[in-house]
Amino acid sequence: MGQIRIGISGWNYAGWRGDFYPKGLVQRLELAYAAERLTSIEINGSFYSLQRPSSYAAWREQTPDDFVFAVKSSRYLTHVKRLRRLAGSLERLLEPLQPLAQVGKLGPLLWQLPETFHRDDTRLAEALAALPPGRHCFEFRHESWFVPEVEGLLRAHGAALVIGDHSRRPFQTRNLTTGWTYLRFHYGRARDGAYGDAALRTWSERIEDWRRRADVYAYFNDDWNGHALREAARLRALVTAT
């Protein structure tokens, strides 16, 4: 049976203060508070700028021993360079992560591609070949990528196809390409983009099925109105109860 880790994308949101975070909780203690209630968090700040090793070291100390961080790769590599010539840039991305890697708290690296990036098998193959050992997953946002040939490339390199759930991307598949999978809950089918209880029950059944053959990482990215927090907690309870 695979491991299941359910969490949120980021933790530093002003709208959560006084709601999820108790009134008066100082900002530097928010990660520790969230980590007591979750098993993983996806770091999004790394997408916008390189984080200092000291930041990762601090986050390491603020979380339980069995906690794991997923890390979103730099948008410079995914949106500017668009996966071109990764080999020379990877060290700058990976070196600051060593404080997490040294204690087993570094989970998958997420490679989120822009919606305007159409399928390019050659570029994807070159990027996959350049990646160092570890868990890497790719989130495609243009429908041209969702073909067997791309899944075959991911499978050959042990990389996961991200299951990015969004009502505007009905072409997203839910296929596993390796011994683990990565879910991102972006926008549900409720009027305000939330995931209702029926939807979460359906996802819990899928997760239980996948865990028979794979580890599962799942993160809620619908941070408005505190949806992500409530839904992550509810999904965890549903999975635990089965």
pLDDT at 169 over 60: yes
**Strands of 10-67, DSSP E:** 40-43
In words, the CATH class of domain 4-241 is alpha beta
Rounded Cα gap, residues 51 and 236, in angstroms: 29
Alpha-carbon torsion angle 232, 180, 100, 238, nearest 10: 20
What one-letter code names the amino acid at 210? W
**Structural domain spans, the chain:** 4-241
pLDDT (0 to 100) of residue 224: 85
What average pLDDT does the structure give for the chain? 94
pLDDT (0 to 100) of residue 241: 61
pLDDT at 81 over 80: yes
Q: What is the pLDDT of residues 23-60, one digit of tens each?
A: 999 999 999 999 998 999 999 999 999 899 999 999 99
Mean pLDDT across 98-126: 97
Share of the chain above pLDDT 70, in %: 99
* Reported pTM: 0.95
The dihedral sign for the CA sequence 130, 132, 135, 136: negative
Describe the crossing of helices 197-210 and 227-241 by its angle, rounded to 10 degrees. 50
